[in-house]
């Protein structure tokens, strides 16, 4: 696949070179439209939309009220000026070749009135594209969250984990050995990817190994609770959608340099504009070289994201996107644990590193995506997406530090990995609005298909499985106690395992409006998943075989129904039921066949409000999620004898997750905004058999915190003495958690397998200054230097980052 990556990069730059030639020719033949828009009292009007009625072309005015629309073929057009809450104005114009047509407008509103309109426009919650149906926020009976481009920029966000904390109830809970992130909400977690992946990019499944480049995103959308209706086998707690920046038909861009503590530097470039009247491009490039507060840990990343937008007609667009990420980083278990995962070694500094000095993880990731949108008319739209992604990971390091003694003694083994994951996705969605008598309908009908192919290599050293190899001995508390080995043993490929999974789903949904106040949403999805028996190629013996597990088929229906009451146009109250499913491994003790999926029921009540003329958005949701047929190991076989096979299971366990979430956001003025949220969750086992090997009733589930809170406030000065200055503060709270593993009845360990982790709060302070097109932003993160930990299972214990400085110098053009 490395050849494919190289070819992709070369084709990208060749495409941009050819497009530049085309653009140059078009610039000579076409004309431009330019002008200034002012308010009735003579002040410049910013953020006003100016569009060419006959073309799919528009621009927004800058702070000085000016606008420019380039590459317009000679001819007569209608220029339209519009803004939310403002009267639409039109003018007939003529564009001539190689000429600039000057057109000025004066709005009926004065500067104060327009400012109020801007506030209302900025605060309006937009529909999340992840919903697929484009339902407006007040009509969607589900808790959602969006991390906007403004927050991503103001908080100088680099990683997805830093972004999602801005949504109530969503937390970064694990860092998976320093090579990936795990998130949780409502008692459920989502990891990097796989056939049951719950992280998407522009609505399609994506592998997020190696940390996606969050600084290049337009926004991040989150659906909390069940999303099985739209996506099938996904987490019952949340799904995340990363929305990338798109091509623009107006030229512009930004070059930036981000610099931070521990020699972190990150230059980036973002260039966009028209190539012709109907073709626009965007090219984003990022390089990152990052040290760490962790000894011996480094990261180097190269990222490129080209995209092209084609206007195939007045009502049809085709978006072609691709990206490539090459990353080299140090796998990092943090400070490890003590007593076989039972204690956190708080006596060691947060910088202490226990992996081998030469540990590495290299990743190449490539994706390509085509999105076709067609508007039949104002009511009916068609969306089709095809995508492919490949992820290659090559790593070598110490084995898991889950056998460290109470005094820090650890006999290190080795772990070698060479994996490939290829993801292929196709989906098509039809949305429409129509009436049956006085009843309005907003429908979604669609289907999707996904293939996930995992290829994993096995390794040996000296003719024996690498898992049995003893490398050396260290003490994780006192690293100077023993002399560490520095050589890298030669690990040979012994086997290559292929594990393909196919997913297909068909779904339909209807938002029925009986009146303006009473509405109902109902829908259902049918999902089919096939997990093939693995193919094994034994490389040394030159033979092939198959894995022990046979090909299995999983099928499930996922319904959703909700009732919505809107007493006034700015408030909505809803009650909903939805269902999702969890694919299980193992065999059913009764039938001897593959275990059926566990069906998970979610009940949610919520209220959404737009207060003070929409300046403040306040949402509340209360939920209960019940998995009443949790898969647990069967205590007895079908013949009544004691079962000692952990793959023989039964569906009679139960977990319950209760909680609530509150979100309050405000755009008080165009200079002041805030984002706040709080959540509480109690996820626990509520029904068990009480027999040996079963979970313990009443015990909290591991990973998810009990409470989370977030608060962000930013203010930009407008008075002449401080014009251009910006200040802000951000605080995050992560409550008590249970790491490790849940206990079972009659377990062999005499001690608890749980690792309690206390809560913590971090505070970041930010200041910035903008002068014309140049801006400088500086933040001090974790200003109180709080110490706490992110724990993966019971061995990868990573201290959170200490106090750090982060700055961004940018020039927009």
Whether residues 205 and 64 fall in one domain: no
Residue 153 confidence (pLDDT): 96
- The pTM for the full model equals 0.87
Whole-angstrom distance, CA of residue 608 vs CA of residue 618: 6
The token pair at 541 is: 């013996």
Residue 2 has pLDDT above 70, yes or no: no
Q: Is residue 547 part of a domain?
A: yes
The token pair at 501 is: 């999974």
The string of DSSP codes covering 388-403 is: EEEEEEEEEEE-----
Whether residues 165 and 94 fall in one domain: no
Nearest in space to 552 (alpha carbons), one of 535, 528, 580, 536: 528
- Of 200, 217, 244, which marks where a domain is finished? 244
Whether residues 659 and 777 fall in one domain: yes
Whole-angstrom distance, CA of residue 797 vs CA of residue 788: 10
Q: Is residue 6 part of a domain?
A: no
The token pair at 661 is: 């979430």
> Residue 364 to residues 339, 422, 595, 812: CA-CA distances in angstroms?
37, 12, 36, 30
Whole-angstrom distance, CA of residue 262 vs CA of residue 294: 9
The token pair at 349 is: 């500094």
Whether residues 62 and 132 fall in one domain: no
Q: What is the mean pLDDT of the chain?
A: 89
Q: How many Cβ atoms from other residues are within 10 Å of residue 163's Cβ?
A: 25
The CATH number for 562's domain is: 2.40.170.20
The pLDDT tens digits of the residues spanning 111-150 come to: 666 655 554 445 556 666 888 998 999 999 999 999 999 9
The CATH number for 199's domain is: 2.170.130.10
Residue 113 confidence (pLDDT): 63
Residue 111 confidence (pLDDT): 66
Whether residues 55 and 133 fall in one domain: no
Whether residues 636 and 703 fall in one domain: yes
Q: Is residue 587 part of a domain?
A: yes
Q: Which residues pair with 394 in a beta bridge?
A: 362, 418
- Of 216, 244, 272, which marks where a domain is finished? 244
Q: Is residue 514 part of a domain?
A: yes
Give the strand order in the sheet containing 217-224.
144-147, 217-224, 238-244, 199-201, 204-205
The CATH number for 82's domain is: 2.60.40.1120
Kindly state the helix (H) or strand (E) to which residue 27 belongs, with its residue range: helix 2-29
The token pair at 262 is: 């521990």
Strands 31-38 and 105-106: parallel
- Of 244, 260, 284, which marks where a domain is finished? 244
Q: Is residue 334 part of a domain?
A: yes
Residue 461 has pLDDT above 80, yes or no: yes
Q: Is residue 17 part of a domain?
A: no
Strands 464-465 and 774-781: unpaired
Whether residues 85 and 153 fall in one domain: no
Name, in order, each residue with C-beta under 8 angstroms of 42's C-beta and a sequence gap of 6 or more.
Answer: none
Q: Is residue 804 part of a domain?
A: yes
The token pair at 664 is: 């309050």
Whether residues 77 and 184 fall in one domain: no
Whether residues 175 and 321 fall in one domain: no
Whole-angstrom distance, CA of residue 99 vs CA of residue 79: 16
> 678, 618 in Cβ contact below 8 A?
no
| Burial of 470 (C-beta count, 10 Å sphere; 0-12/13-18/19+) | exposed
The token pair at 154 is: 């103001």
Residue 423 has pLDDT above 90, yes or no: yes
Whether residues 231 and 84 fall in one domain: no
> 812, 253 in Cβ contact below 8 A?
yes
Q: Is residue 3 part of a domain?
A: no
Whether residues 626 and 528 fall in one domain: yes
Whether residues 466 and 540 fall in one domain: yes
Whole-angstrom distance, CA of residue 445 vs CA of residue 722: 53
The token pair at 613 is: 């003329």
Q: Of 54-58, 200-204, 206-210, 709-713, which gets the smallest average pLDDT?
A: 54-58
Domain count, the chain: 3
The pLDDT tens digits of the residues spanning 762-789 come to: 999 999 999 999 999 999 999 999 999 9
* Residue range of the domain that includes 86: 29-110
């Amino acid at each position: 696949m490395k050849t494919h990556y190289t070819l992709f990069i070369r084709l990208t730059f060749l495409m941009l070179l050819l497009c530049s030639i085309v653009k140059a020719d078009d610039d000579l033949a076409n004309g431009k439209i330019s002008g200034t828009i002012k308010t009735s009292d003579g002040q410049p009007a910013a953020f006003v939309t100016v569009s060419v009625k006959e073309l799919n072309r528009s621009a927004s005015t800058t702070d000085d009220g000016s606008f420019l629309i380039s590459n317009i073929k000679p001819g007569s057009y209608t220029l339209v000026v519009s803004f939310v809450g403002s009267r639409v104005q039109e003018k007939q114009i003529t564009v001539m070749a190689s000429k600039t047509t000057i057109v000025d407008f004066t709005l009926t509103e004065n500067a104060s009135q327009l400012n109020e309109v801007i506030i209302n426009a900025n605060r309006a919650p937009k529909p999340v594209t992840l919903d697929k149906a484009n339902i407006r926020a007040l009509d969607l009976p589900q808790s959602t969250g969006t991390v906007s481009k403004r927050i991503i920029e103001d908080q100088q966000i680099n990683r997805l984990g830093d972004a999602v904390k801005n949504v109530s109830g969503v937390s970064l809970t694990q860092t998976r050995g320093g090579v990936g992130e795990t998130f949780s909400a409502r008692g459920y977690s989502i990891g990097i990817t796989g056939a049951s992946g719950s992280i998407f990019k522009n609505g399609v499944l994506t592998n997020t190994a190696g940390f996606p480049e969050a600084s290049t995103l337009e926004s991040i959308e989150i659906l909390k609770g069940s999303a099985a209706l739209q996506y099938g086998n996904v987490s019952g707690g949340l799904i995340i959608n990363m929305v990338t920046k798109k091509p623009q038909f107006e030229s512009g861009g930004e070059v930036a340099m981000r610099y931070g503590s521990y020699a972190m530097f990150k230059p980036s470039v973002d260039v966009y504009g028209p190539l012709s009247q109907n073709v626009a491009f965007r090219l984003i490039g990022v390089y990152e070289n990052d040290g760490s507060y962790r000894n011996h840990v480094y990261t180097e990343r190269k990222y490129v994201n080209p995209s092209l937008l084609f206007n195939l007609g007045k009502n049809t667009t085709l978006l072609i996107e691709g990206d490539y990420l090459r990353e080299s980083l140090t796998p990092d278990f943090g400070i490890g644990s003590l007593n076989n995962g039972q204690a956190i070694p708080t006596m060691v500094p947060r910088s202490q590193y226990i992996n081998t000095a030469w540990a590495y993880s290299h990743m190449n990731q490539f994706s390509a995506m085509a999105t076709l949108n067609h508007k039949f008319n104002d009511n009916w739209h068609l969306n089709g997406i095809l995508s492919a992604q490949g992820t290659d990971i090559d790593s070598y390091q110490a084995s898991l530090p889950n056998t460290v003694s109470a005094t820090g003694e650890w006999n290190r083994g080795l772990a070698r990995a060479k994996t490939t994951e290829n993801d292929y996705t196709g989906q098509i969605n039809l949305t429409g609005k129509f009436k049956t008598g006085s009843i309005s309908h907003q429908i979604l009908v669609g289907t999707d298909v996904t293939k996930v192919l995992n290829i994993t290599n096995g390794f040996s050293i000296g003719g024996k499985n690498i898992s049995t190899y003893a490398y050396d001995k260290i003490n994780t508390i006192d690293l100077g106690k023993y002399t560490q080995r520095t050589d890298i043993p030669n690990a040979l490929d012994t086997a290559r395992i292929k594990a393909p999974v196919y997913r297909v789903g068909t779904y339909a949904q209807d938002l029925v409006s009986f009146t303006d106040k009473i509405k109902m949403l109902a829908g259902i999805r049918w999902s089919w998943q096939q997990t093939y028996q693995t193919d094994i190629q034994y490389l040394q013996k030159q033979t092939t075989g198959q894995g022990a597990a046979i090909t299995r088929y999983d099928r499930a229906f996922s319904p959703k129904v909700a009732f919505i009451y809107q007493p006034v146009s700015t408030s909505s109250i809803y009650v909903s039921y939805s269902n999702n499913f969890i694919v299980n491994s193992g065999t059913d003790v009764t039938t001897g066949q593959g275990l059926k999926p566990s069906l998970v029921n979610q009940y949610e009540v919520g209220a959404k409000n737009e207060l003070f003329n929409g300046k403040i958005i306040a949402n509340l949701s209360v939920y209960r999620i019940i998995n009443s047929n949790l898969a647990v190991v069967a205590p007895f076989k079908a013949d009544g004898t004691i079962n000692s096979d952990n793959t023989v299971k039964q569906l009679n366990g139960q977990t319950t997750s209760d909680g609530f979430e509150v979100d309050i956001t405000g755009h008080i003025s165009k200079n002041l905004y805030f984002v706040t949220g709080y959540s509480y969750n109690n996820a626990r086992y509520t029904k068990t058999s009480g027999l040996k090997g079963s979970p313990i009733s009443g015990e909290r589930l591991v990973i998810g915190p009990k409470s989370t809170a977030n608060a962000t406030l930013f203010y930009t000065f407008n008075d002449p003495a401080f014009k251009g200055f910006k200040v802000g503060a951000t605080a995050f709270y992560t409550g008590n958690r249970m790491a490790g593993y849940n206990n079972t009845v009659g377990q062999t360990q005499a001690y608890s397998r749980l690792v309690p982790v206390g809560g913590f709060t971090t505070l970041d302070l930010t200041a910035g200054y903008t002068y014309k097109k140049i801006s400088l932003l500086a933040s001090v993160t974790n200003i109180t230097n709080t110490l706490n930990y992110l724990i993966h299972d019971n061995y990868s214990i990573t201290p959170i980052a200490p106090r750090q400085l982060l700055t961004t110098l940018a020039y927009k053009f």
